[in-house]
Amino acid sequence: MKILFVMLFLVVSLLQAKVFTNALAKETSPYLLQHADNPVVWMPLGKEAFLKANKENKPLYISIGYSTCHWCHVMEEESFTNIQIAALLNKYFICIKVDREELPQTDALYQNIYKKYSGHAGGWPLNVFMTPQKDVFYITTYIPPKQRPYAEGFDTLLPKLHRLYLNKKHLQKAVENIAHATQKREKSIMKKDITLNAFVNSFKKMYDSDYPGFGHSKQFPQASKIALTLDLAELTQDAKLKEAYLTLLDTMAMRGLYDHIEGGFFRYSVDVEWEIPHFEKMLYTQAELLPLYVRGYEISHKPLYKDIVTESIAMLDKRFVWNNLYFSASDADSDAEEGGYYTFSRSEIDKALKYNVHEDDIKEALGFRLEGNMHVKIHLGFDNDERPKGFREFQTMLREVRKSKKFPFIDKKINTAWNAMMIEALYKADYIDVKYAKKANRHLQALQNLMLREQELYHQSVPDHIPSQKGLLEDYAFFIGALIASYESSYDEDKLMLAEYLLWQAKEKFYKNGVWYLSEQRNVKADLNDKYYTSSLSKIIQDILKLSGIKESLRYEKLAYASMNNLHLELQERLADAPALARAYLMQKEGVVSLKSKKENLLKNYKKIQEILYPYIVTVPKDYDSYLACTLRQCFSQEKELKLIIEKINRYKKKI
């Protein structure tokens, strides 16, 4: 009886796992063989398929991909193994599978049609619908099984295309539209570029080239606005935008906003010329500005930018660090005098210059700041965009002067969001010195140990106390950002898993019906305004988009789309307030590019990858000897040499 039961179980199991064998089983291509057992009645490309289409009066569906194409596999899993979708394909179409590595000329033909028709870069999987006479009437990349916000699903698209094929008048119109569009590629692309140009035009209206920045009376170092400047420069190849970015970096670094003696930026300048700061130093100011200088160094290799980063991190280590955690801020006042610690008397400056062989160079660079009453305190700033000769000796002497002064009060709160911001900045500073990634690892572990308790994130604490306030949206958003940066520096899967876990926990806590809220109570909506630093709303959407590229996940893209869906009009009206959301919007619109290769290749070439000019890059370790560049639903280049793939990425969606 037991034997009979086992035999019946095996028979039922075999029936449930029915094997569908199609004509691809006779092929040698690994990609075609992957689809040999699909319920879709696939055929290889050849005369037989077109003869069959003519005989049965059916259009053809050609699916083009290759064996290591992630989204090709996704389409197979979602649609080509789906009995209902397969039934529609088999009923209405003659289905052909093409291995683009086996037939590159066929792939090139249809990629070219797609690019000219859509105005977008092509990629894989590519889906082509054509008549038996080989006239294309519909072409696209990834198609989901069911309707999604960004694309129609197979379930409704296939019957619609069947009806189109039967209506000869409409079919002819569709064929002509594609044929006509392929002859007007340049015009089509220009029409698609309206949104990007709108961002550029808005930026140019906001930017003041006479007093570099975005202020009219005060100058705040608006990091997200400056970051958007470079994004636009890289997307459009606009040299003036790049110049504006670098000019802003020079101005903030050389005028009074920066502490030239110990490093670090003050919170803002009370004048439009960046000369007189409010002498408060905020952790978040350093955390948001330092990555801009790292990026500036990556694209220009200007030594000043490297000095700004190393000096500022050293300042934080000296003044702000406790047990690998960062305090929040230092006060502007010292002994009841604003800026008392940071300013100098004329006699102190003269003494510091007394034995400096480059005294005249330094005085010339200091310019008007040395003029006037000998009893007025002087705050340092320089007129040029390079440090004068003899600066190091001058800096050392004035550091000695400061040793006799009382340092301002330090706010010793340990804030999760701001610590996470700074940790992400440290990972980016790894380009300048590998020690910073190791430092970031220590800080991240310390923050995790303190603020992540029983899988619950907390908002803030003070030394030697257990945190009690539950985390806010900003804590989750920036902590996830730090985890993503950590993952990309080492490809530690634990960091990626934790980032994903916290994202879904954040969604559960702070998200409802397309709206993000600041706290679990969901009584205050998260705003898009980057008032003091990047808004948590913008940051969480950026996180989601990065994870969509790293995990190659439509689930994440769907969440990003839903999060952005109700914000487009507000973004348009409030662009000056929301540059970080503009970056998220452009990241979604232009596409996150995933650069894939062996982990060893990615780690070894970290610096070269960081110098890529396309702004929205993530790196993904895969078991590939070569390099592959992909967006979420398609891959657009595969090269054996890193140099060649970088060239392809730099030209990706280049706006002319």
| 199-237 confidence digits (pLDDT tens) | 888 888 888 888 888 877 789 999 999 999 999 999 999
Which position has the higher pLDDT, 193 or 57? 57
Question: What's the pLDDT score for residue 384?
Answer: 85
Give the separation between CA 105 and CA 113, rounded to whole angstroms: 13
- In this prediction, residues 25-45 reach a mean pLDDT of 90
Sign of the CA dihedral 466, 470, 472, 473? positive
Cβ neighbours of residue 632 under 8 Å, at least 6 residues apart? 71, 548, 549, 552, 554, 557, 591, 592
Q: How many Cα atoms are found within 13 Å in the side-chain-facing hemisphere of 200?
A: 18
From-to residues of CATH 3.40.30.10 in the chain: 22-191
Cβ atoms of 98 and 106 within 8 Å: the answer is yes
Give one DSSP letter per residue of 524-573, joined into a string.
SBPP---SSS--HHHHHHHHHHHHHHHHT-HHHHHHHHHHHHTTHHHHHH
Give the separation between CA 232 and CA 230, rounded to whole angstroms: 5
**Mean model confidence pLDDT for the chain:** 89
Span of 32-41, 320-329, 566-575 with lowest mean pLDDT: 566-575
Three-state DSSP class for 491?
A: coil
pLDDT, tens only, 389-422:
999 999 999 999 999 999 998 989 899 999 999 9
Question: What's the pLDDT score for residue 304?
Answer: 97
CATH topology for 22-191 is Glutaredoxin (3.40.30)
- In this prediction, residues 586-607 reach a mean pLDDT of 95
If one counts every other C-beta atom within 10 angstroms of the C-beta of residue 79, the result is 25
Span of 109-123, 448-462, 636-650 with lowest mean pLDDT: 109-123
Tokens of 451: 């603020």
Give the separation between CA 53 and CA 134, rounded to whole angstroms: 11
Question: What's the pLDDT score for residue 28?
Answer: 76
Give the separation between CA 153 and CA 242, rounded to whole angstroms: 41
pLDDT beyond 80 at 289: yes
Give the separation between CA 91 and CA 617, rounded to whole angstroms: 41
pLDDT beyond 80 at 13: no
pLDDT, tens only, 154-185:
999 999 999 999 999 999 999 999 888 877 54
Tokens of 611: 């110098």
Which position has the higher pLDDT, 198 or 285? 285
pLDDT beyond 90 at 16: no
Cβ atoms of 125 and 62 within 8 Å: the answer is no
Give the separation between CA 69 and CA 45, rounded to whole angstroms: 19
Question: What's the pLDDT score for residue 6?
Answer: 44
Cβ atoms of 238 and 232 within 8 Å: the answer is yes
Question: What's the pLDDT score for residue 150?
Answer: 73
- What does pTM read for this prediction? 0.78
Question: At what angle are helices 554-565 and 536-551 packed, to 10 degrees?
Answer: 160
Q: What percent of the chain has pLDDT over 70?
A: 93
Tokens of 226: 């400056």
pLDDT, tens only, 228-270:
999 999 999 999 999 999 999 999 999 999 999 999 999 999 8
Question: What's the pLDDT score for residue 656?
Answer: 30
pLDDT beyond 80 at 192: no
- In this prediction, residues 41-50 reach a mean pLDDT of 95
- In this prediction, residues 515-527 reach a mean pLDDT of 87
pLDDT beyond 80 at 482: yes
**Given 3-state DSSP classes, what are the helix, strand and coil percentages for the chain, each rounded to the nearest 5?**
55, 15, 35
Question: What's the pLDDT score for residue 155?
Answer: 93
Cβ atoms of 477 and 540 within 8 Å: the answer is yes
Question: What's the pLDDT score for residue 102?
Answer: 73
